[in-house]
Amino acid sequence: MKITFNQAEEKIREVAREFSEKEIAPLAEELDKEARYPEESFQKMVKLGFTGIGVPEEYGGSGGNEIVKCIVVEEIAKKCASTAGILSIHGIFGQAILRFGTEEQKQQYLPEVTSGGKHGAFALTEPNAGSDAGAVKTHAFKNGDNYIINGTKCFITGGANADYVLVFALTDPSKGLKGMSAIIVPKNTPGFKIGKTEDKMGIRASETSELIFDNCKVPTTNLVGKEGQGFKIAMIMLDGARIGVAAQALGIAKGAIDESVKYMHERVQFGKPIAALQGLQWYIADMATKTEASKWLIYRAASLKDEGQPYSTEAAMAKLNASENARIVTNLALQIHGGYGYMKDYPLERMCRDAKITEIYEGTSEIHKVVIARAVIG
Ligand code: COS
């Protein structure tokens, strides 16, 4: 496992940081306030090749690996957790096609979602199938050369904006988990409707919607992988997604530390900048140390993934740790800002709200503990 970043990775970090500071930061507050999807920023990320990370150039991607993806997500999350989350979760659609799709599917969909500016979404969760992902009720029955899909998905990141959704549905309910399949549903397919868009506490610029399938008909050629392989595909994709969300949490924590240090130098109390107060210095020391530790769990998991080694447990550990750290660090950062931190004039209250979702989506902390405990205890 590597413990340093190479020159190319440092260069990408520089590009992502500059983009995040110049293009993402000025919009963050407004997007949050208006709960507005950052389509312009998304298209700029397409131009920079960020949406194609991890997909080979022959399919329209920009190459790179999980480490590169984490670097970019981390830098963007420092300024806007919503935009970072959108980038991270959009990538799951392409990764699923790359790993499990047919050659035709790769050629058809990957160029569109990597460099073509189209949006992909991953639709697993249902009202009664969140942590218990195997409890999915949506079904897709074969009718000649088509699947007829019926059911409702909820809390789907980017669902209303998606051009393509990877839907997990039971093609054979009698087989339980082994009867679940992954099927591509393009937007505007008759019978596919967008339901409620959620009004959320945090990551307000990242749209989260309900998707309704009412006799939605798609060709059987839209099946990804084999019939019955859906649960496994979902779990494998979630393993990767957890590293991305952990990188998002890391960026939020780092952004909160940056804001705190800046404020501590500017804010004068008791006749000196509050940076001189030892109590607050200790806060910063704890915040920086825990964030550094969380960083290396994330890049360790990413590195294992890039090396083709098992990484499920490490991804769960990385996300469990980074998301908890983001919540703690943003709260301490707000505390350092005192009353000003509680006001919307400063970004801390947004960062606190944004941090919370990282303990919930792509699996709750409790589910990560289940995954980790199963690996440790057996
Ligand atoms: N990678 C590859 N395969 C996996 C896997 C993973 N991470 N996790 C499970 N599987 C496979 C198993 O190997 C098993 O396949 P076989 O029967 O061929 O061996 C199959 O999936 C069922 O696994 P298992 O019996 O362990 O399933 P459980 O129902 O006990 O699932 C947990 C266990 C809870 C760990 C799993 O359901 C999980 O991670 N759920 C979290 C879901 C989640 O994060 N929901 C939020 C979604 S946000 S989109």
- Which residues 6+ apart lie within 8 Å of 127 measured at CB? 152, 154
- pLDDT for residue 1: 65
Selection from 146, 152, 188 nearest residue 169 by Cα:
152
Dist CA 155 CA 143 (whole Å): 29
Arithmetic mean of pLDDT over the chain: 97
* Token code pair at residue 215: 């006799």
**Cα angle for residues 145, 153, 59 (degrees, 5° grid):** 60
Dist CA 33 CA 294 (whole Å): 29
Q: Which residue's CA is the closest to the ligand 1 atom numbered 12?
A: 232
- pLDDT for residue 2: 67
Selection from 286, 300, 126, 298 nearest residue 213 by Cα:
126
Closest-lying ligand 1 atom to the alpha carbon of residue 125? 49
Q: What are phi and psi of 345, to 5 degrees?
A: -70, -20
Selection from 240, 330, 338 nearest residue 291 by Cα:
330
- Residue whose entry in the numeric block shows the structure tokens 């969909």: 109
Selection from 167, 49, 160, 158 nearest residue 111 by Cα:
49
- For 282-292, write each residue's pLDDT tens digit: 999 999 999 99
- 3-state SS, residue 145: coil
- pLDDT for residue 4: 87
Ligand 1 binding residues, C-beta < 6 A: 124-125, 130-131, 133-134, 177, 231-232, 235-236, 238-239, 312, 361-363, 367, 370-371
To the nearest 10 degrees (0 to 180), the angle between helices 81-100 and 66-79 is 160
Residues with catalytic roles: 362
To the nearest 10 degrees (0 to 180), the angle between helices 348-357 and 25-34 is 70
- For 58-67, write each residue's pLDDT tens digit: 999 999 999 9
- Radius of gyration (C-alpha) of the chain in whole angstroms: 21
* Token code pair at residue 24: 């993402």
- For 166-222, write each residue's pLDDT tens digit: 999 999 999 999 999 999 999 999 999 999 999 999 999 999 999 999 999 999 999
Taking the centre of ligand 1 as the mean of its atom positions, its distance from the CA of residue 232, in whole angstroms, is: 7
* Token code pair at residue 96: 């699923």
Low-confidence ranges of the chain (pLDDT < 70): 1-2
